[in-house]
Amino acid sequence: MKAYAITNTGRVRAMNEDAYYLPGPGEHFAAVADGMGGHLAGEVASAMAIELFARRMRAARGLPEDTLRDALECANMAIYHAAARDADKRGMGTTFTAVWMGEGEAYLAHVGDSRAYLLRDGRLLRVSRDHTLVEELVAHGHLTREQAKTYPHRTYITRALGVHATVQPDILRLDWLEGDVWLLCSDGLTNEVEEKDIERVLKGAGEYGEKLSRIVRMALEHGGRDNITGVLVTTEED
């Protein structure tokens, strides 16, 4: 397994409130978080989520699904209480998208609108479902995908870590096949780069670290209006 990550503040924001985690030796998980909240609170929330998630995952001995759920619930409670103690951090929270990869299987844990994609057999599949108002409107037939791109409240998130005392993450199990490539990314990437262009780059020639660099450069060239973070995990051997 090989993993690559890039984060960029973008062309508009003063601070980078994204955070990510790459697997260390013997580890099998990666994550992306996109924080929100004023007075640097978004940066605090995403960093807390990544740190607490990684710590919980390293100590885990149970089933992957239970471990992922426990790690996100732990991070959620810690961020929620930190915000309650500090007026400057009231309302802070973060999206969170993580993948755990084992022998022949993978588990996705997801809250918010950072995304998880799976490149398999040359096709890019969106595995996560955005927890946003606009996604719910599309799901219920009130908006088309094209209308959703320009909907005024398309950034309104319906689930995040730290905003409420409890959280309901999506946990999905998938097969983990030879040649699979996971892309975890914040919305600063997907709001600027079309999925068809991400697919074209990922299945093209070149090393995956360079492919990720190319996709982030595309997001910057298309405006870079938000922080941009991407993590790629492949079945390649080190």
State the pLDDT at residue 60: 86
Indicate the domain borders of the chain. 2-234
Q: What does the alpha-carbon distance between residue 215 and residue 120 come to, in Å, rounded to a whole number? A: 18
Which CATH number among 3.40.47.10, 3.30.230.70, 3.60.40.10, 3.30.390.30 corresponds to the domain 2-234? 3.60.40.10
Q: What does the alpha-carbon distance between residue 84 and residue 182 come to, in Å, rounded to a whole number? A: 35
Could you please report the per-residue DSSP string of 180-233?
-EEEEE-HHHHTTS-HHHHHHHHTSSS-HHHHHHHHHHHHHHTT--S-EEEEEE
Q: What does the alpha-carbon distance between residue 231 and residue 178 come to, in Å, rounded to a whole number? A: 18
Sign of CA dihedral 84, 160, 75, 34: negative
What does the pLDDT average to over 168-175? 97
pLDDT digits (tens, 9 = 90+) for 59-111: 988 899 999 999 999 999 999 999 999 988 998 999 999 999 998 999 999 99
pLDDT digits (tens, 9 = 90+) for 102-155: 989 999 999 999 999 999 999 999 999 999 988 888 888 888 888 877 778 777
Running DSSP on this structure, what letter comes out for residue 12?
S
Query: What's the token pair of residue 105?
Result: 């299987």
Distance of CA 83 to the CA centre of its chain: 22
